[in-house]
């Protein structure tokens, strides 16, 4: 990206920040680095600080969604904004430039520090300290405790040879869900308006097979409202909807339990109850195999590998975190990919061409080797995440002084990095508003066996997008531990859907609701027409 095209902040710093970001702070004094106090942003009032800005009706951010607040801050103050004096919160700096995102991540050290969700942390440290007293797991811990937990889960969760074992069973879940999709279509071949609830069931069934080593039976017809499966799905919905309300404003719920806090804590109790039950069942299975002498050639599951490396409580917490973070994100990401393919039919047909080559029949078995060859499928999902991202920002707490946009940021500040603000930046992504999976292909699509539009590839391959502009799974030691499984689930289901159906959406532009994550606001009434090829 040309420095001449980088948006300037009010201080004129941006020409220099790329050169500064890889240089030690001590050598940068000749560059006239500005002080932390000079960073633009809303000015706190005496006594009440900036808390009033989040109050409904009277505050400028009251009632705003996350993306609206990020845009408002960027538009008013520029590419770096400071927000201070909110009770119960450390200082926050919003950084809106990929160059500064890189600086932040490059300086996070071996033990990256991230502000946990305060309500989740409070639940584990206070409400249910009886269970979590020895540690809250990788979602809420920092420092050595986090490092110890993460070191134990990296091998089971992130080794390709382990995740590859799950392709056939995850494909079985996806195939079962495709058959269910056939049955739930109406006379117009449309899925029901509440299809998001059905997607949650697919995602829960898939990730539970990894996290809890069992099939929960979420895809059964007409789940009862009081069923365990529906209780978990409802808990996800409640937690994600109400957590944002608890996190965005002053934490009054620490003083008295608000209705939203009560709902969140009850939902988190559901995760705890279910995971402990199934982890204990997994322990019983392992012990039975050992007693019966059947474990000599047995390949342990992810959960069994976790149990071999940590105690029962720690394994249960990891399973909870996998469920908590692996249902809504994969569900909505898959729905968005379906929507964007429905609005870009030529790309849908290119993807179908690739799938037809590798899956000649609709019932051709899925293998890890075939999945690896589906380059256009992977590009479709990456482009979907760019155009309509589910995760709209990354967050790190500074562990030492850094320079962002030529301002000195001290240790202990929360740096929020909203990537959603530059997803359509032409300086980063040529033809940014077009849905072009070709921008993620490594090789020009020409010749036998390679699918894609060579013309579109040429249109977007003349520049290289900044690698820190697109981080849907984070970066570094604290990147998403479930990345491999999330990608696998999305790729397999999307492949099966497009291999079986023409996907259409006839209700205009699909919009997102932006809270802790971005979720689909409109009914997912996709029209699925059977393919005969």
Q: Which residues of the chain have pLDDT under 70?
A: 1-31, 249, 295-296, 463
Kindly state the tokens that stand for 73.
Answer: 């801050």
8 Å CB contact between 302 and 213: yes
8 Å CB contact between 89 and 101: no
**In whole angstroms, how far apart are CA 100 and each of 186, 338, 393, 395, 406?**
49, 33, 13, 12, 10
Q: Where are the alpha helices (DSSP H) in 292-327?
A: 302-309, 312-326
Q: How far apart are the first and last CA of the chain?
A: 43
pLDDT computed for residue 175 by the predictor:
97
pLDDT computed for residue 13 by the predictor:
43
CATH 1.10.630.10 in the chain: give the residue spans.
Answer: 143-391+472-530
8 Å CB contact between 12 and 6: no
Q: 377: Cβ–Cβ under 8 A, 6 or more apart, which residues?
A: 351, 354, 355, 491, 494, 495
Q: Which fold has domain 143-391+472-530?
A: Cytochrome p450 (1.10.630)
C-beta contacts of 448-453 below 8 A and 24+ residues apart = 449/357, 451/350, 451/351, 451/353, 451/354, 451/357, 451/375, 451/376, 452/350, 452/376, 452/379, 453/346, 453/350
Provide the whole-model pTM. 0.90
Kindly state the tokens that stand for 13.
Answer: 């710093």
pLDDT computed for residue 31 by the predictor:
67
pLDDT computed for residue 192 by the predictor:
96
Rounded Cα gap, residues 415 and 515, in angstroms: 18
8 Å CB contact between 200 and 395: no
């Amino acid at each position: 990206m040309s420095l001449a095209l980088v948006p300037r902040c009010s201080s004129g710093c941006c020409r220099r920040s790329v050169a500064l970001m890889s240089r030690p702070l001590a050598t940068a004094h000749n560059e006239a680095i500005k002080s932390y106090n000079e960073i633009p942003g809303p000015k706190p009032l005496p006594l009440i600080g900036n808390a009033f800005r989040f109050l409904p009706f009277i505050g400028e951010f009251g009632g705003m969604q996350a993306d609206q607040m990020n845009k408002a801050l960027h538009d008013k103050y520029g590419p770096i904004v400071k927000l201070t004096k909110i009770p119960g919160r450390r200082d926050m700096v919003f950084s809106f430039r990929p160059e500064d995102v890189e600086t932040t991540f490059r300086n996070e050290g071996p033990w990256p520090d991230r502000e946990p969700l305060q309500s989740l942390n409070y639940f584990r440290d206070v409400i249910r300290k009886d269970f979590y007293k020895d540690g809250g797991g990788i979602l809420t811990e920092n420092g050595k405790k986090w490092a110890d937990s993460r070191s134990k889960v990296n091998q089971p969760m992130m080794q390709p040879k382990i995740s590859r074992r799950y392709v056939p069973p995850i494909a079985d879940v996806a195939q079962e869900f495709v058959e269910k999709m056939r049955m739930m279509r109406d006379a117009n071949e449309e899925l029901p308006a509440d299809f998001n609830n059905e997607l949650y069931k697919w995602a829960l069934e898939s990730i539970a097979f990894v996290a809890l080593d069992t099939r929960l039976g979420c895809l059964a017809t007409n789940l009862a409202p009081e069923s365990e499966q529906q209780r978990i799905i409802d808990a996800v919905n409640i937690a994600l909807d109400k957590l944002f309300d608890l996190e965005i404003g002053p934490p009054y719920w620490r003083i008295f339990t608000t209705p939203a806090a009560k709902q969140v804590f009850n939902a988190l109790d559901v995760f705890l109850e279910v995971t402990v039950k199934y982890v204990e069942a997994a322990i019983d299975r392992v012990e039975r195999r050992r007693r019966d002498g059947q474990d000599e050639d047995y390949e342990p599951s992810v959960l069994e590998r976790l149990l071999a490396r940590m105690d029962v409580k720690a394994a249960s917490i990891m399973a909870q975190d996998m469920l908590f973070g692996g249902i809504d994100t994969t569900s909505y990401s898959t729905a968005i990919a379906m929507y964007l393919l429905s609005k870009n039919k030529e790309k849908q047909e290119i993807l179908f061409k690739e799938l037809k080559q590798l899956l000649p029949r609709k019932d051709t078995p899925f293998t890890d080797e075939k999945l690896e060859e589906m380059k256009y499928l992977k590009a479709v999902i990456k482009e979907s995440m760019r155009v309509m991202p589910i995760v709209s920002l990354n967050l790190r707490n500074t562990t030492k002084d850094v320079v962002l946009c030529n301002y000195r940021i001290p240790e202990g500040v929360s740096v929020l990095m909203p990537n959603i603000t530059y997803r359509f930046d032409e300086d980063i992504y040529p033809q940014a508003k077009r849905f072009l999976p070709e921008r993620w292909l490594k090789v020009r699509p020409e010749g036998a066996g390679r699918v894609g539009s060579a013309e579109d590839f040429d249109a977007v391959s003349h520049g290289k997008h900044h690698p820190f502009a697109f981080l849907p799974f984070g970066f570094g030691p604290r990147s998403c531990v479930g990345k491999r499984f999330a990608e696998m689930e999305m790729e397999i289901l999307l492949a099966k859907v497009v291999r079986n159906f023409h996907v259409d959406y006839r209700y205009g532009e699909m919009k997102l609701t932006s809270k802790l994550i971005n979720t689909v606001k409109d009914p997912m009434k996709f029209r699925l027409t059977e393919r005969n090829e």
